[in-house]
Amino acid sequence: MSDREDVAILGAGMHPWGKWGRNFVEYGVAAAQAALTDAGIEWPEVQFVSGADTMRNGYPGYVAGATFAQALGWTGAQVASSYAACASGVTAIAAARAQILAGLCDVALVVGADTTPKGFLAPNSGVRGDDPDWLRFRLLGATNPTYFALYARHRMEAYGATTDDFAAVKVKNARHGLLNPNARYRKEVTLDEVKASPIVADPLRLLDICATSDGGAALVLTSMDFARRHLGADAGRSGSGVARIRAVSTVTPTYPQTIIELPGFATDSTAGIGGRPELTFKQSIARRAYEEAGLGPDDLDTAEVYDLSTAMELDWYEQIGLCSVGDAEALLRSGATALGGRIPVNPSGGLGSFGEAVPAQAIAQVCELTWQVRGQAGDRQVDGARTAMSINQGLFGHGSAVIVSR
**pLDDT for residue 263:** 86
Mean pLDDT of 367-386: 98
The confidence band for 377, taking pLDDT boundaries of 50, 70 and 90, is very high
Picking from 6-15, 262-271, 323-332, 393-402, which range would have the lowest pLDDT averaged per residue? 262-271
- pLDDT tens sequence across 67-123: 999 999 999 999 999 999 999 999 999 999 999 999 999 999 999 999 998 888 888
**pLDDT for residue 262:** 84
**pLDDT for residue 241:** 79
Mean pLDDT of 257-276: 83
Mean pLDDT of 175-195: 98
pLDDT, mean over the chain: 94
- pLDDT tens sequence across 322-352: 999 999 999 999 999 999 999 999 999 999 9
Nearest to 303 by CA among 280, 337, 256, 261: 337
Q: Could you tell me the maximum CA-CA distance found in the chain, to the nearest angstrom?
A: 61
Cα–Cα distance, 169 to 159 (Å, whole number): 16
Q: Would you list the domain boundaries of the chain? A: 3-118+214-244, 132-210+247-405
| pLDDT at residue 396 is higher than 60 | yes
| pLDDT at residue 239 is higher than 60 | no
Domain 3-118+214-244 has CATH 3.40.47.10: yes
* CATH architecture designation of domain 132-210+247-405: 3-Layer(aba) Sandwich (3.40)
Which secondary structure element, helix H or strand E, spans residue 10, and what is its range? strand 7-18
**pLDDT for residue 2:** 44
- pLDDT tens sequence across 212-228: 999 999 999 999 999 99
- pLDDT tens sequence across 284-319: 999 999 999 999 999 999 999 999 999 999 999 999
Q: Look up the pTM and report it.
A: 0.95
More confident residue, 142 or 162: 162
Which secondary structure element, helix H or strand E, spans residue 392, and what is its range? strand 387-394
More confident residue, 235 or 196: 196
Do 3-118+214-244 and 132-210+247-405 have matching folds?
yes
Q: Are strands 48-52 and 107-114 parallel, antiparallel or unpaired?
A: parallel
Other Cβ atoms closer than 10 A to 296:
12
State the DSSP code for 335.
T
Q: CA-based Rg of the chain, rounded to a whole angstrom?
A: 20
- Non-local (6+) Cβ contacts of 178 within 8 A are 186, 187, 188, 349, 353
**pLDDT for residue 233:** 67
**pLDDT for residue 271:** 78
**pLDDT for residue 240:** 61
DSSP-derived secondary structure for 38-81: HHT--GGG--EEEEEP-SSS-HHHHTHHHHHHHHH-----EEEE
